Homo-oligomer: A and B are copies of this chain.
Amino acid sequence: MSDDLTEMLAPEEKPEEKKDVTDLLLHDILTGTLPAGTWLKQIDLERRYDCTRPEVRRALDRLSQRRLVQHNPNRGYQVYELDDQRTREISDIRVILETGVADRMIANVTPAAIAELRGLARHFDEMSFRGSIMEHYDANLAFHRALLMLAGNSELVEVVAEIRQRTVSAPVSQWRTRARIEQSAREHHLMVDALEARDLPELKRLIEIHIRQAPIKA
């Protein structure tokens, strides 16, 4: 594995854009552009994202607080290497939270919400074929965010988004298999179906399957 970050990906230069460095770095970690274990040298990040040293430091500190990168004092930062147990634990938390509010999602669902979710699910389908890995990832995020919003608890949406960011680095690589992507796309539509039919047990079952990335048994 190469230690030099600059050669791994040259981000397209957009002079007018002024995004936060933390988000850029986060994205590159989540999409697997910076694989687990990579050393994040401050000098490299500075050049890579065309930003200053303090910005790099703040980004690294923030991501190490979220346990996405590991901080070795006086040695440096590296992308966190997550073990299977933590992955399973985080999935468990997500299952508990998201199935736990399934009843509220059904209670609050409206035809307009159904239409919006169908649109987002289709957008995910689209991105599966034609989009980049980032657009694909974002489309998935948008769908799940909209779905959770139905529970009427905006704090929950944030918490889940935060938790999800702790474990996607591994699954995102699994996404490279076309079969898994298409299965996810199907599951999205099935979840909307269950919502529309107000079928609580089925919705819960789908959510759990979807989070655990288990083979679907329809």
Cβ < 8 Å to B, chain A residues 58-97 = 58, 61-62, 65, 86, 89-90, 92-93, 96-97
A100 touches B89 (CB 8 A): no
Is A174 an interface residue when CB atoms closer than 8 A count as contact? Answer: no
Q: Does A43 contact B (CB under 8 A)?
A: no
Neighbour of A62 across the interface among B61, B97, B100, B163, CB < 8 A: B61
Question: Across the interface, do A163 and B159 meet the contact criterion of CB distance under 8 Å?
Answer: yes
**Which of A44-52, A125-133, A150-158, A197-205 lies on the face that meets chain B?**
A150-158
Q: Tell me if A's interface is mostly helix, strand, loop or mixed.
A: helix
Assuming the contacts A96-B97, A97-B97, asked whether A155 and B86 have C-beta atoms less than 8 A apart, the reply is: yes
A62 to B154: give the CA distance in the assembly, Å. Answer: 21
Q: Is A101 an interface residue (CB 8 A)?
A: yes
Give CA–CA (A92, B104) in the complex, Å. 12
Q: How far is the CA of A156 from the CA of B92 in the complex (A)?
A: 9
CB distance from A112 to the nearest CB of B (A): 22
Q: How many angstroms from the CA of A163 to the CA of B153 in the assembled complex?
A: 14
Apart from the given pairs A58-B61, A86-B155, A93-B155, 10 other A-B contacts in the complex at a CB distance below 8 Å = A62-B62, A89-B153, A89-B154, A92-B153, A92-B156, A93-B97, A93-B153, A96-B96, A97-B97, A97-B100
- Give me the interface of A with B, judged by CB distance under 8 Å: 58, 61-62, 65, 86, 89-90, 92-93, 96-97, 100-101, 153-156, 159, 163, 166
25 residue pairs from A and B, CB less than 8 Å apart: A58-B61, A61-B61, A61-B62, A62-B62, A62-B65, A65-B65, A86-B155, A89-B153, A89-B154, A89-B155, A89-B156, A90-B155, A92-B153, A92-B156, A93-B97, A93-B153, A93-B155, A93-B156, A96-B96, A96-B101, A97-B97, A100-B100, A155-B166, A159-B159, A159-B163
